[in-house]
Structure 1
Amino acid sequence: NAVQCGLALTAADGPRLKAEGRRALYLSIENSYPLGLDAGNVAKFHALGMRMLGLTHMLNNDIADSSTDPRGAEWGGLSPLGREVAAECTRLGVVLDASHASDAALRDLLEISRAPVVLSHSGCRAVCDHPRNIGDEFLRALAARGGVLQLNALPVAVVPVPEDGRTAAISAILLRLRDAVLTPELQAVIHDEWNRHEAQYPNPPATLDDYVRHIEHAVAVAGIDHVGIGCDFDGGGGVAGLNEVSDYPNLTAALLRRGWTETDLAKLWGGNTLRVMRACEQAAG
């Protein structure tokens, strides 16, 4: 309710709401599919309060290639429409989120965007070789353009897992979804299949220390000004010791034990991402 939280539309709104004792709620969209084939729809969602837009999700769409589509690349990066969408986001001050996007799509975005880019929930490929994570060359390029990598706590992207049929099982489900009309009946079937897959291939035993390794690697490569937190708790994220928001103090304590300062922690816990948002607001127009 409005006593406990408030809609935040600018970078300045977050600190203001905090000073009022309320939670700041920033609205984002993961997967640009709802835009349809019209980049002008970005403005409609912006008018409704959206301030960050994720290009894609588990599969390619009309905007960009995904890092996990079993059929591989469709556009070789951003599509022509994706470039229009990126330009419209920049015009409106909407933060562009490249999590889930392919390497080529991220490269395109870094080349054409006039504003910094965020990866809202990704990891470091040098620590865990997973397609959802990014390599050091992209970390450096992201930092050079003022962007931020927010570290994901999805176990399969935090620690390596054996290839025990997991990837093939996921790919089979994704291929069924790719061109399907998602009726309630099909949605129920897919949901049951996914639950069976989760039971057969449980998440690897990732820990808070494993997660911290991603943070410290990202800081070593990109610098403290370009790293944040994006645990993806609502999408399967969570490791031992960091399974929900009430566990956040565990992460802060772990970093303090490693010598982190309060200034560094303030940057990690939102300061860097708010800086990107301010930069996007300034680049608008």
Structure 2
Amino acid sequence: MRKRVATLSLFALAACTATSQGGAPSAADPVAQHARLLTLDTHLDTPIHFDREGWRFDATHSFAADLSQVDGGRMKAGMLDGGFFVVYTEQGPLTEKGYADALAFARKRSDAIDRTVAAYPALIAPALTAADATRLNRAGKLAAFKSIENSYPLGEDVSLLGEFYRKGVRMAGPVHSGDNQFADSATGKGKWGGLSPLGKRWVAEMNRLGMVIDASHSSDATFDQLLELSRYPIILSHSSLRSANDHPRNLDQVRLRKLAAKGGAMCISTIFLSDMNMTKERAELFGAYERIATLPPAQQADLARRWQALDRREQMWNANFETVMAQILRAIEVAGIDHVCFAGDWDGGGGVVGMQDITALPKVTARLKAAGYSDADIEKFWSGNVLRILAAQKG
């Protein structure tokens, strides 16, 4: 049986439920339901906070106070047992200097993940394999996988994937918001008609190393070619359904079925369930947020205050928890429970009304239970499908 390290707030919630019903927590208690499951998230942008002055991973922060959505305290409270911490690099020019600058940044971000995880050995530990996630969960520790969002920092040298593999990276996507040297982006102009020749070499190297290919942010043509060329199942680490919102960043249902037919999975996100309300003020705040680790504490606090004030006037997404649940249930209907997973895009623009951070995860489990899914099925959604895909990479 798994060892669960519950926070005081969880005991208080369970006790409150028991008191209200005159006994032990009922089977309908979402905390009790969720506590039985191994829960992972495939896309955590939380490393953006790791070098912030005054910010600690082992503390319990709040989005209202400092704009963070994930930390050790809330992972315990929301019973998120681990996930893939992201080495994200903004898309830049396809030049020698652009590649060199991006590689230096990616190495620094990767090192920040390692340094943060190493600082809290009683709380969290590195994970490289599916077995590691299970082992750490039984030991009461959080599992820290690593992934790459945007392979742009590799420049034109796919052998650099080996360096990041040795640094613990086990998942990577070729592209982000703009077309790059490897592939066309879902939000790019379409440079290659899918993968470039270098991108096809990237696929072969990913397969050789045994790294999971992540098709989130890829154009439709790029997705099609990744699915065709990869010898092993691929994943979409944080994507939404196009039926929920007709946006190129989202996946259509025909492609979701094709993904399932080849053993892959789509991890449902909270982003692009509506058009993004990116006003001039919001864009300015996002620009500052991207640099939040360089800001002194007073400026960090001012940024959070301005962000919250804007949220009170207007929301970034016209979506809520019910919108997220509707697309989760639809995705399962289309692809089957063996091919759907979850990633909120926390700390990277995700979160909607009623689901602002990871403490909301037990509500998802409760709704899946109410829809008739068993614990075994729900655990596939939270971790089993991801771990199956990770284990299928031969390397």
Q: What TM-score results when the alignment is normalised by the length of structure 2?
A: 0.60
Q: Determine whether 1:203 maps to 2:316.
A: yes
- Secondary structure, aligned partner of 1:26: strand
Distance 2:224 2:126 in 1: 32
Name 1:180's counterpart in structure 2.
Answer: none
Overall identity of the aligned pairs, in %:
43
Distance 2:376 2:245 in 1: 28
Q: Would the aligned equivalents of 1:86 and 1:113 in 2 still touch at CA under 8 Å?
A: yes
Name 1:141's counterpart in structure 2.
Answer: 258
Q: What amino acid is aligned across from residue 151 of structure 1 in structure 2?
A: I
Q: Determine whether 1:3 maps to 2:122.
A: yes
Distance 1:60 1:9 in 2: 29
- Secondary structure, aligned partner of 2:241: coil
- What is the CA RMSD across the aligned residues, in angstroms? 2.2
Name 1:179's counterpart in structure 2.
Answer: none
How far 1:201 sits from its partner (Å)? 7.0
Pick from 263, 267, 276 the counterpart of residue 389 of structure 2: 276
Distance 2:279 2:262 in 1: 36
Q: What amino acid is aligned across from residue 165 of structure 2 in structure 1?
A: H
How far 1:120 sits from its partner (Å)? 0.3
| Count of paired positions | 252
Name 1:98's counterpart in structure 2.
Answer: 215
Highest Rg: 1 or 2?
2
Pick from 14, 39, 59 the counterpart of residue 178 of structure 2: 59
Name 2:358's counterpart in structure 1.
Answer: 245
Question: Tell me, which stretches of 5 or more residues in structure 2 are unaligned?
Answer: 1-119, 285-293, 295-302
- Secondary structure, aligned partner of 2:384: helix
Name 1:220's counterpart in structure 2.
Answer: 333
Q: What amino acid is aligned across from residue 132 of structure 1 in structure 2?
A: R
How far 1:167 sits from its partner (Å)? 7.5
Name 2:142's counterpart in structure 1.
Answer: 23
How far 1:256 sits from its partner (Å)? 1.7
Q: What amino acid is aligned across from residue 51 of structure 1 in structure 2?
A: R
Distance 1:201 1:88 in 2: 45
- Which deviates more from structure 2 when the two are superposed, residues 270-279 or residues 253-262? 253-262
Name 1:77's counterpart in structure 2.
Answer: 194
- Which deviates more from structure 2 when the two are superposed, residues 108-117 or residues 236-245? 236-245
Name 2:168's counterpart in structure 1.
Answer: 49
- Higher RCO structure (Cα 8 Å, ≥6 apart): 2
Distance 2:157 2:279 in 1: 34
Name 1:189's counterpart in structure 2.
Answer: none
Q: What TM-score results when the alignment is normalised by the length of structure 1?
A: 0.83
Query: What is the 5 A alignment of 1:149-168?
Result: 149-154=266-271, 157-158=272-273, 160-161=274-275
How far 1:204 sits from its partner (Å)? 3.1
How far 1:161 sits from its partner (Å)? 3.9
How far 1:202 sits from its partner (Å)? 3.7
How far 1:107 sits from its partner (Å)? 0.3
- Secondary structure, aligned partner of 2:248: coil
**Structure-2 change in CA distance of 1:231 and 1:84 (3 Å):** same
**Deviations for 1:5-44, whole angstroms, at most 9, x for unmatched residues?**
1100111110001011100100001000111111111111
Distance 1:100 1:265 in 2: 26
Q: Would the aligned equivalents of 1:33 and 1:62 in 2 still touch at CA under 8 Å?
A: yes
Q: Would the aligned equivalents of 1:242 and 1:251 in 2 still touch at CA under 8 Å?
A: no
Runs of 4+ in 1 over 3 A off after TM superposition: 166-169, 198-202
Distance 1:161 1:277 in 2: 32
How far 1:217 sits from its partner (Å)? 1.2
Question: Tell me, which stretches of 5 or more residues in structure 1 are unaligned?
Answer: 174-183, 185-191
